[in-house]
């Protein structure tokens, strides 16, 4: 299937047929969870970790689907195989489902599962990474964990979308938002890191527990880099030696400017080391789950 | 069209064909706004106010569609006419739209418009209203205005959905959530009111500026009832003489119990007066926009 392949209502379909009902609570209440895993040069990267997180998100939202981990693995492999894509952005989605007329009880819905494989998505592609990202720090606050648990990967993005408008209006590349205490939280689709005097910092709470974030923390441990998970004041970020973001959509991507102001060290040596280590990790057998493209 | 009619991709379709792309940011970022207006006994109720609010919500999210107010009015009338429904729940929905592959800038999407008419929805139907609702007060906090402006009607409902699970698990009928200060905010699809010593109270901020809420405030003025818009501490609600909720999905609906504890005055005289006035208002010519059901 040209351009990608989706799995919807129990079968593989072209992307143009990947649709959900306007009445699915996954849309009308954003009552849904999802996960995104990458395929790089013919193999899934850390698929098991993504499947585990997706299943934990579904459990936290009390969603049930008739697919266990092996079945989910088979479905996402099927999407990639049908698409023929060697490098892909693969999503798994579970929605609450379509209620019977007049019903408001979420326990009564039959949950629905979707998946799709599309070409690999870069928040910053390799060309852009050479320049580094210009990150805009929005004053908007991320939806707090007391409202929606950020560890359950969710589509509640209007705060992030509004920060993106501000960023693009100002000519910046992307944005991040703050937590209720005014500390740095996360951006649209990525976690944030900074490096100061050789130590790698990232916010400890109130953010998605990104698998790319976790990968970077593991790579730091391997490389003997000190890490600290703690609240990240805006002033600390502005005084950082290096800043980078992490996402399944692009891996480790360097930030060269904050609100248009150039950071002192770009390209930063620690960021470069972690970037190289991130991509090298894609060759390790334990991280790879190769796709069988034969029919 | 049996059971309702939708407007999607520029034409009228059966509900089963009312679908959005899995790739529409309206789904994957919950980047959408909507409004709901009722049709009662063959006429829209306060249609103009709903169209105005919907257009204000779209403007606040920087969405544009090729329909002005007259065209929107014509489309929702078309949905109701095609459905044949004498009493209906009519929704207007605008989504950010489907991005081109790899694009993340919300300014580049073509916004999409949908509408539908389905049978009238009651949060509590007339039978249930005789018993009154058992309202569960969740400790969960509503997404704050600093993250997502509640005056823009939106689908960010996971906080409300989780409070609904708690309510149903405890055998209650519905739920409400708190604001960041621990005061009463709103419930899934409704605003909250209480009556104490003849004064009608409702939260002043951090909640949807409901049109049913506004209608009740106007009816209070007409009837010489004192009103106060102010933060509503939980203790005040528990000590209330009367509690009721308001929604386009059912109008003025009485609460008889809080967390299962019976309120002292049920049915409450002020609630009954406002309930009667709400329905009587449906006969006033200025409030009605009759549907022409002839082909």
Q: Which domains does chain A have, with CATH numbers?
A: 5-119 (3.30.470.10), 126-281 (3.20.10.10)
Say how far apart CA B162 and CA A172 lie, in whole Å: 36
Q: HSE of B272 in the Cβ direction (CA atoms, 13 Å)? A: 9
Residue B286 CA to residue B192 CA, distance in Å, equals 26
Q: Which are the contacts of A176, defined by CB distance < 8 A and separation ≥ 6?
A: A135, A136, A137, A138, A163, A184, A185, A186, A187, A192
What mean pLDDT is predicted for residues B143-163? 96
Dihedrals phi, psi of A200, to nearest 5 degrees: -100, 120
Q: What is the mean pLDDT of residues A219-227?
A: 98
Q: Does A223 touch chain B (CB under 8 A)?
A: no
The verdict on whether omega for the bond into residue B267 sits within 30 degrees of 0, i.e. cis, is yes
Option in A28, A101, A147 nearest B155 (CB): A28
HSE at residue A116, side-chain half, CA atoms within 13 A, is: 26
Give the separation between CA A229 and CA A245, rounded to whole angstroms.
15
**Set of chain B residues whose Cβ sits within 8 Å of the Cβ of A119:** 101-102
For residue B122, the distance in angstroms to the closest alpha carbon of chain A comes to 7
Residue A269: phi, psi to the nearest 5? -65, -40
Mean pLDDT of chain A: 96
With an 8 Å Cβ cutoff, are B143 and A156 in contact?
Answer: yes
Beta-bridged to residue B91, according to DSSP, are: B36, B116
Min CA distance, B193 vs chain A (Å)?
Answer: 21
Task: Tell me the pLDDT band of A97, cut-offs 50, 70 and 90.
Answer: very high
Task: Select the residue from A4, A18, A19, A90 to test the B interface by mutation, using most B Cβ atoms within 10 A.
Answer: A19
Residue pLDDT, tens place only, B80-120: 999 999 999 999 999 999 998 889 999 999 999 999 999 99
B34-81 per-position pLDDT tens digit: 999 999 999 999 999 999 999 999 999 999 999 999 999 999 999 999
Residue in B with minimal Cα distance to A16: B21
How far is the C-alpha of A146 from the C-alpha of B159, rounded, in Å? 8
Share of chain B above pLDDT 70, in %: 100
How close A12 comes to chain B (CA, Å)? 14
Please report which helix (H) or strand (E) contains residue B71, including its range.
helix B69-83
> Closest residue of B to A178, CA-based?
B147
Check B19 against A21: CB less than 8 A apart: yes
Query: Radius of gyration (Cα) for chain B, nearest Å?
Result: 19
- Tell me if A23 and B31 make a contact (CB, 8 A cut-off): no
pLDDT for position A84:
97
ipTM of the complex in this document: 0.97
Report the C-alpha gap between B109 and B100 in whole angstroms: 8
Cβ pair B22:A28 closer than 8 A: no
Q: Residues 86 to 105 of A: which have CB under 8 A from any B CB?
A: 93, 96, 101-102, 104-105
Please check whether residue A28 touches B, CB under 8 A.
yes
Question: Per-residue pLDDT for B228 more than 80?
Answer: yes
Check residue A295 and give its pLDDT: 67
Q: Report the gap between the CA of A236 and the closest CA in chain B (Å).
A: 23
Rounded Cα gap, residues B128 and B105, in angstroms: 47
**Residue B295: pLDDT above 80?**
no
A29 lies within 8 A of chain B by CB: yes
The 3-state DSSP class for residue A209 equals coil
Pair A288, A37: CB distance under 8 Å: no
A66 touches chain B (CB under 8 A): no
Residue of A nearest to B95 (CA): A27
Contact check, Cβ <8 Å, B93/A20? no
């Amino acid at each position: 299937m040209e351009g990608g392949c989706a799995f919807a209502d129990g079968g593989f379909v072209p992307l143009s047929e990947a649709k959900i009902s306007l009445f699915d609570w996954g849309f009308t209440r954003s009552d849904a969870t999802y996960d995104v895993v990458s395929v790089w040069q013919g193999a899934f990267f850390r698929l098991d970790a993504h499947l585990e997180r997706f299943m934990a998100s579904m459990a936290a939202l009390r969603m049930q689907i008739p697919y266990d981990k092996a079945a989910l693995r088979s479905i996402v492999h099927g999407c990639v195989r049908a698409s023929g894509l060697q490098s892909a952005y693969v999503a798994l989605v579970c929605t609450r489902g379509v209620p019977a007329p007049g019903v408001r009880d979420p326990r009564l819905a039959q949950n629905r599962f979707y998946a799709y494989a599309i070409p690999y998505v870069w928040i910053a592609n390799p060309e852009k990474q050479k320049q580094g990202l210009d990150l805009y720090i929005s004053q908007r606050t991320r939806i707090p964990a007391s409202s929606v648990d950020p560890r359950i990967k969710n589509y509640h993005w209007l705060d992030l979308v509004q920060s993106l408008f501000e960023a693009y209006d100002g000519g910046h590349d992307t944005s991040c938002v703050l937590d209720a205490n005014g500390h740095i939280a996360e951006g649209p689709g990525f976690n944030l890191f900074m490096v100061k005097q050789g130590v790698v910092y990232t916010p400890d709470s109130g953010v998605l527990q990104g698998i790319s974030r976790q990968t970077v923390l593991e790579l730091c441990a391997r490389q003997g880099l000190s890490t600290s998970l703690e609240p990240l004041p805006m002033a600390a970020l502005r005084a950082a030696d290096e800043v980078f973001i992490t996402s399944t959509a692009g891996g480790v991507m360097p930030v060269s400017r904050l609100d248009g102001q150039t950071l002192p060290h770009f390209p930063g040596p620690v960021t470069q080391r972690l970037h190289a280590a991130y991509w090298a990790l894609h060759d390790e057998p334990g991280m790879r789950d190769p796709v069988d493209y034969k029919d």
